[in-house]
Every structure is written in structure tokens, then in C-alpha cells.
Structure 1
Amino acid sequence: MDVPPVNTSVSSSHLSLCPSLATRLLLPSAYALLFLTALPGNALSLWVFLRRIATMSPTHVYLCHLSVSNLLLSVTAPFLAAYYARGWAWALRGVLCQLVLHGVTPVLHINVYISILILTWVALSRFAALIRHTHADRPSVCATLLPRAFFTRLTEAAFASRVCVTVWAVAVGGVVPVTVYYSVNEARSSEGAGCAEVCYNPVLEIGGSVSTTMVVVPISVFFMCYLLVIMSYMTVLSHIRRSRRNTHVTTSKRLLSRVLRNIVVIQVVLSVCLLPYNIFRPIFMSMTHHQDPPTFSPSASICDDCHPMSVFVEVKNALFLLALLRGSTDPVMYVLLDKIFRHQTFKLLRCNRGNRGGDNDGKPARCLVTGSAGLRSDQQVEGTTATATGDFSQGSFL
């Protein structure tokens, strides 16, 4: 390879990303943990939604689709663990590299933006339940500005199913064309670039001009959704203050506190897992666009020089991991968000533990509720109890 003159600028694609110990050890370990926790957790959640809950509420529909998305994410986790452990040694045209590039990358971004949109719709459906079934000394501003039918639709399971289909279509339709263009056109620009012909290289990790610019759209969508959740939270707080004057409406107060808690849970998930990545991503884009061309030192080979963005690439990957780790914690969020899911999950876990250990008399325990018919009867009894106590918040609204 010819050595460029002193202080001669070279293309950044000719430089190597230098993965640190954190990238080669911590990220693979974290993705292995993601696989071991997200796969069984979301599989159990999906089983509970489809087989243990007879009457699906809008929240159940949304969380069921989120579980499917998380299961797809968990399947890709082992490939990501291998990529960060050995991607710097894989050939760019190798099978594993091409699998990560063409298969894993679209699934990851589809999962992230499906989760953002679905969590936003969960918050809106809870907010609609509050508007329709609570009382205050005066109606909410949202109730006066928006048509009543809008809040009715948000609390319908059929409408939630149509929303989820649309969310999948938007996420797949928005992510796949960009990733296809990126993998077919921009990623090929690193071929023939000497030491950059490895899988973990600047072109694949930083992206080209077109794919980097297109990231502006999903980032804007995230902040719009985040703003909607914050507005829902503020409206619920205002509604609670107005409802405190109606001291005799205890049911409404229970519903208000539960809706507030659920929206806070969603806001925490968005803030902790997804907000840091979406804040850093535009900063990262700006840094790549305004980066000065790297210069070559004649005392070493080009391949021995580290790309100036190596550290920032690792920060980006760490924050993206934080966004994906949500797939492991989502089953815990389901338990906090939905009382029926929590009840059925704990019942199923207690039943399985009883079947393994047996009772005190040495006789094996049995699950008394099996099949959809038994589930309907069980939930009808719970619904009757809820009606008798006046707590309708245990029904399909929440």
C-alpha cells in the first residue's frame, strides 16, 4: 500500500474503528443477557395475553403486539453479541456480516420505533379511559376540544388492533427502504477500502449521508410521541386536582391514581431507555458532518490509525443497547400497567410452582382454570366482584 505524504488527508473509510474492551466484552455480555431474559419473559407474556385472558382490552392488544416485537428482538440478540465480540475480525462480505447488515439491523430499528408508537397509544388509551369515566367540577379541556367519538374509539379493542397493524406497516415501511438503500449502496462504499473491509468499520457504524439524514424523521416522531405522553401526564394531574373537590366519587379517584401511575411508568420507560439515544443521535450526526478529514501519520500504516469517531461510535452503541434492553424489562412493565395481566401471570406462576413441588400432603397441585372456557368463567367471577364493589377500573378500561 502506498503511503500518503505527511499531513495528507485520507478518506475516513480507510481508517479502522478501534473497539475497546467495553465493546468486545461488555456489549456481547449485555446482548447475551438480553436474549436470556427477553425471550422467556416475552414468550410468557404473549402466552398470558393469548391464552389466559379471554376478553382483550385495548391495552392487552397493544402489549401483545409489543411482546411479538420484543420476541423478534430477542432472536437477533445472539447475532449482535457475536458481532460486537468478533465483528472487527469478520470479513465484510462474510455470511455473518451480511446477516447482521441485511437481517438484524432492520429488525432492531423496527422494534425501537414500534415500541415508541405502541407505548404512546397505550398512554392515550389510558387517558381516554380517564376522560370518559371520571368526574370533576368541570370537564377537561381535551374533552371539550376533541369529539366524544375519539375517546370512545381509543377504548375499543378493535380500534387498537387496527392501530397496531398501522404501526407495523409504518415502522416496516419506513425502516426497510432506508436500511436496504444503506446496505446496498452506502455499505458497499467501504469495499476496496483496504483495512475497512471488515464488518465493524466506519461506513457501517456511522452510515452514509442519505441514511444519516433520514434518521431525522424517526427522531422527530419520537419527540412528538414523548411530548404527547408528557401532555397526557400534565392533563391527568390537572384532572386529579379538579376531581379532589368531588370527595364522594371514590371510584373516580381510584381510576385517576391508576391512570396517573400507568402514564408515569410509560414516561419513565421512554425517558430512561429511549430518550438518551434519541438525544445523542442528532449530536452524533452533527459531529460526523462537521468532522475534519483525518490526517495520516507517516510513522505507521493507515490501518494502525484509529478513526477519530471510534469513541463516539461506542457511546452510540451503548445508548442503543439501553434502548434495546427495554425488551427485557417490558414484561415487568406489563405487570405494572395491567391488573388482569398481573393476576393471570401470578396465578400461572403459582400453579406451575405448585405442580413441581406438590402440596403439604404430598399430593400434586392442579391448575383449576384450564382452557378458554375456564378462563371466561374465572374472569366473569372477577368482573362480577368488581361490579359489586363499584370498581369498574378492573374491567376492560384498565
Structure 2
Amino acid sequence: MCYNSTCIEPSEASSLVLPIIYNLLCILGLLGNILSQGIFLRKIARKSSTHIYLINLVTANLLVCCAMPFMSAYFSAGYDWEYWSVKCQVVNFLGTLFLHVSMFVSLTILSWIAISRYATLMKNDLTQEENASFYEKIFYGHILKKFCQPNFAKKLCFFIWGAVLAIIIPVTVYYSAAELYPKDDKRCYSQKTECGGVISRIARFVGTAYIGFCFLVVLLSYYSFASYLRKIRKGTSITKKYSIYCSVKRHLLVIQFLLIVCFLPYSIFIPIFYALSKTNDSQQLNYLVEIKNFLLCLAAARSSTDPIIFLLLDKTFKRTLCNLFRKDNSQHETRSLHQIHHGNSEPQ
């Protein structure tokens, strides 16, 4: 059984490759997200609802980056630590807390961005159509419209952080203090740590269902928009607004891509992991744990790639970043010309 904590140990892939990946992702993620946050907070004066969502998304990304050194240390040396050592307790609590809080905040915010993008287009079109139904005018003109309002976006993000912290902190405390109490194996890296107990299993199943829900929200937004686009193509010309439609469609596709590549494999595998982890085959259990940990690393990797995604999601961010680099290059060229001129003017 999974709780017979004697048969699990990290392979070279976990103890060598995972720490390297986490350290690289941490460095890239910190550099990219700190730069992105600086642009959002200091360079963009007039912030839209999308900017509010992206600021909170970057904050969640930085939290993931803070968890990565803990995860790296756990996989590289956790098998040699005593469970009740300070190192093990810190990694188990803070690493788990940071990683999962930021993961679910990111998921929620990505869903809100998809809804906001969809609502921005639909509220402008359907509320102005004469043949739009009363339901469409209320839903798109009043309900979804709120997602495009910066003040509502701030309140929504505040609520997201509060709700996620209120749910995950108690589960993490219970997981670290009660569920992982070692009986047979006193190692930090053990079956008990990797499989968890009843409460943490339930929490992970709920989290898996939530990932699926977020994916369905984005999927529904995309296909509703695609259906609407096909409808208006038949009835009228969309030449003037075609670039806007393409932009919305691209944003929804980008968010779908992130969820499918990064989050969906982990969420699909978790039920499989718990179904197959009740085994006496130590080799099979080790394989299952290895797969779970690499898929979790894939989910965490999204936080380091987000600064690239921002270039596709927000034109203001892209324009500001390009202007920033042009300004730096211009200043560098000016200094170089000044130095050359100063050198040529020196007496021979």
C-alpha cells in the first residue's frame, strides 16, 4: 500500500534533472516576471482590466519562482533529510503552499482574462444589435461587462487571493503537521510525503476538478466567439473589425494552449496516480511518483514563460517593452558616439 513508507526513493532523473530544471526556471522566471511587473506598474499609466489581471498573474508567477528553490532542494537532498528537520518542514510547508496557491490563482486569472477578452467584443456588438435578445443584452451588456471594468477587476483579484489562501493554508498546515506524521520511514522524501493522506487527496481531487472547470470556461468562451464570428460573417462585412476579432481569437487560443500544455496533463494524471498508487509494487510506485513530479514541474514552468505570452496578450505591454529597449539602445549609441567624438578630439 502507499502508506507503507519503505519502498520509495528518488531516481537520478528526480535528484539531478528536476533540481536543474527548477533552478533554471527560477532564474528565467524571476528575470522575466520582475521586468514584466515593472512595466505594468511603472510604465503603463492607464491600466485596463486586463492589466489588473496580468499584474496579479505576475504576482502569482513570482510566488511560484519563490517556491522553485524549495522544490529543487527537496528533490536533490530530501531523501537524506530527517522528516522533523527544519529543512524538511520549511520545504514541505512553504514549497507546497507557494506552488499550489499560485497555481490556482493563475488558473482563475487566466479564466477571467479569457472572459474579459470575450466580453469586450460581445458587449460592444450584441448590445448594439437591434435583433439582440433581452437575455443577450443583459448578459453581455451588464454581467460580462463588469469583467472589463478595472475597479471590478481589482475587487475580483482580491477575492481570488483571499479565497485561495483561505482554502489552501488550512489544508497545507494539516498536510504538513498531521497527515505526514512519520511512522515507518522518517525520511523527508517518502511515500507519505508524495501520496499524502485523505484530506490532501480530497483537496487534490477538488483542485483537479477546478482545473477542468477553468479549461471548460476558456473552451466555452472560444467556441462561443467562433460561433458568433461564423454568424456575422454570413450576414455582414467585418472588414473594419476583422483585426479586433482576430486578436480576441488569438488571445483565447493562447490561454487554451497554456491550459492544455501545462495544466491539463497534471490534472488528468492525478486521479490515475491515486488509483494506481495503492500497490505493493515499489517499482511501479516509483514510476508513478516520477511522472507526477515531472508533470507538476511542467505546470510550474508556465510561470517562467508568461512574460513571452504577455507579448501576445497585450499590445500595450509589447509596445512599452519595445520602446524601453529602443530607448536603452539609443542611449547606448549616444554614449558610444560621445566617446568616439571625445577620443577623436584629443590632441595627438
Question: Is TM (by shorter chain) over 0.5?
Answer: yes
- Cα deviations across residues 43-84 of structure 1 (Å, max 9, x unaligned)? 011000000101111110001001111112112212211111
Q: What is the CA–CA distance in structure 1 between the aligned matches of 2:133 and 2:305, rounded to whole Å?
A: 33
Say whether residues 1:110 and 2:86 are aligned partners: no
1:353 aligns with 2:329: yes
Provide the rounded CA distance (Å) in 2 between the counterparts of 1:73 and 1:221: 19
8 Å CA contact 1:13–1:201 kept in 2: the answer is: no
Equivalent position to 2:78, from 74, 79, 87: 87
Report the TM-score when normalising by structure 1.
0.80
Alpha-carbon distance, 1:214 to partner: 2.2
Q: Does 1:121 align with 2:112?
A: yes
Partner residue, 2:343: none
Corresponding residue for residue 246 of structure 2: 257
Query: Deviations for 1:217-273, whole angstroms, at most 9, x for unmatched residues?
Result: 221111111111111110111121122246554332221111000000000000000
**Matching of residue 173 in structure 1 with residue 149 in structure 2:** no
Q: How does 1:1-398 map to 2 (within 5 A)?
A: 12-134=3-125, 139=132, 143=136, 146=139, 148-188=141-181, 190=182, 192-193=183-184, 196-245=185-234, 248-288=237-277, 291-292=278-279, 294=280, 306=282, 308-358=284-334, 361-362=337-338
Q: Percent of pairs identical after alignment? A: 34
Give the aligned CA root-mean-square deviation in angstroms.
Answer: 2.3
User: Cα gap change, 1:12/1:181 in structure 2, threshold over 3 Å: closer, same or farther?
Assistant: closer
Structure 1 contact 129–155 (Cα < 8 Å) conserved: yes
Structure 1 residues 351-360 or 11-20, which shifts more? Answer: 351-360
Tell me the distance in 2 between the aligned counterparts of 1:171 and 1:11. 28
User: For residues 306 and 149 of structure 2, what CA distance do their matches in structure 1 show?
Assistant: 23
AA paired with 2:198?
Answer: S
Which SS does the other structure have where 2:4 is aligned? Answer: helix
Structure 1: gaps spanning 5 or more residues = 1-9, 296-305, 365-398
Q: Helix, strand or coil: the match of 2:218?
A: helix
Looking at structure 2, the residues matched to 220 and 97 of structure 1 have their Cα atoms a distance apart, in angstroms, of 29
* Superposed displacement of residue 354, structure 1: 3.4
Question: How far, CA to CA, are the matches of 1:11 and 1:200 in structure 2?
Answer: 13
Give every structure 1 segment of 4 or more consecutive aligned residues whose post-TM-superposition deviation is greater than 6 Å: none
Tell me the distance in 1 between the aligned counterparts of 2:2 and 2:68.
32
TM-score (norm 2): 0.91
Distance in 2 between the 1:282 and 1:140 partners? Answer: 42
Name the amino acid aligned to 1:263.
Answer: L
Measure, in 2, the Cα distance between the counterparts of 1:320 and 1:149.
Answer: 38
For residue 251 of structure 1, what is the amino acid of its counterpart?
K
Separation in structure 2 between the aligned mates of residue 142 and residue 225 of structure 1, nearest angstrom: 24
Counterpart of 1:16 in 2: which secondary structure? coil
Distance across 2 between alignment mates of 1:257 and 1:86: 49
CA gap 1:140/1:58 in 2 versus in 1, 3 angstroms: farther
Greater shift, 132-141 or 177-186, is seen at 132-141
CA displacement, residues 2-28 of structure 1 (integer Å, 9 cap, x when unaligned): xxxxxxxx8843413121111011100
SS at match of 2:299: helix
> In 1, are the aligned partners of 2:123 and 2:140 still within 8 Å (CA)?
no
Q: How many residues align?
A: 338
Structure number with greater CO (CA < 8 Å, separation at least 6) is: 1
- Residue pair 1:66, 1:118 contacting (<8 A) in 2 also: yes
- Listed as ranges, the gaps of 5+ residues in structure 2 are 341-348
